[in-house]
Copies of this chain bind each other. A is one copy, B any other.
Amino acid sequence: MGEKVGQQSVSFSQPPVITSSAAIVGPEEGAGPLAQYFDWVIDDPLFGEKSWEKAECKMLEESGKLALKKINLQTQDADLFLAGDLLNQIVSANYSARGLEIPFFGLFGACSTFVEAMLLASMLVDGGFARCVLLASSSHHLTAERQFRFPVEQGVQRPATGQWTATASGALVVEAQGDGPRIVCGTIGKVVDMGITDMNNMGAAMAPAAADTLLTHFEDTGTNPDSYDLIVTGDLGKVGQKLLIELLKKRGCDPGDKLRDCGLMFYDTEKQDIHAGGSGCGCSAAVFSGYFYSELKEQRYKNILLMATGALMSPITCQQGESIPAIAHAVVVSS
């Protein structure tokens, strides 16, 4: 039996275990500093398929299968599959669920989806409703660009605040029992919207949601930045990270040197042309499932707070003059 803690947080009676993980990344991501931590670097953005959408779906499904295979589980051993992605109607998740044939809940939280899934998986496992949950999320640079902005063939110049949607997927197996890092608590975000309307400045749209969830987390759980080895944001990028630090300091919270951002760690931001940093549902998914999972398992980190942020932007509402709502969800993972 779990527990609600404070305003927006939850804790677990038996912290669920992340027993396995897998990450598949695209060529740009495979050229970044974390390459060695990923299970599979694909050279071809089509991944042998006829469309980028089919490639993204394959990437998501394969990362799920791989996470299960690493601990000798079959798809039928998983009670539940939780997944989402950036595409309209979350097609990558739906078609992956078709291939995996595991009871399925589709989620949409833009780039916060991975941690939304981690929170739900933990609650359902700790609540006794599932023994083994597979969760995954993905994004693909070429499917996202043409859906949200412009087809890349068009060669539209990107502003410096723009972020690079990562071609990547990450998957975790969360179980009631087993070996591995544990999800000890989490904080469910509220939608925050400070009026940003520029779809090429997601960092600015997401930073206030990140600050809101982080400060609420500290209050709910009686912790502070020193309670964690690292505070890892999903994909705020350079712009969003700078704003987050400003917002936190204004509220009397100094994160010191604890902050990291998956969108900035994923690439060599000096050499690779990714503007303000990486983004996409696959960004925090692959960086956590690849790099952080491994580091936690090796006890190089004792505990990290992972907070994925989502810019819940929509081309149609932006065209109708709406600003971009954002959300951030957080989980604490201990080795």
A181-220 vs B, Cβ < 8 Å mask (1 yes, 0 no)? 0000000111111000000000000000000000000000
Chain A residue total in the interface (Cβ 8 A): 59
A40-58 vs B, Cβ < 8 Å mask (1 yes, 0 no)? 0000000000110110000
Q: How many Å from the CB of A219 to the closest CB on chain B?
A: 14
This chain's copy number in the assembly: 2
The answer to whether A104 touches B189 (Cβ under 8 A) is yes
Interface stretch (choices A31-39, A228-236, A315-323): A315-323
Q: How many Å from the CB of A70 to the closest CB on chain B?
A: 23
- A77-105 contacts to B (CB < 8 Å): 79-80, 84, 87-91, 94-95, 97-98, 101-105
Q: Which residue of B lies closest to A84 (CB)?
A: B108
The answer to whether A91 touches B314 (Cβ under 8 A) is yes
The answer to whether B106 touches A107 (Cβ under 8 A) is yes
Q: Which residue of B lies closest to A103 (CB)?
A: B188
The answer to whether A53 touches B317 (Cβ under 8 A) is yes
Q: How many Å from the CB of A78 to the closest CB on chain B?
A: 11
The answer to whether A54 touches B327 (Cβ under 8 A) is no
Q: Which residue of B lies closest to A86 (CB)?
A: B89
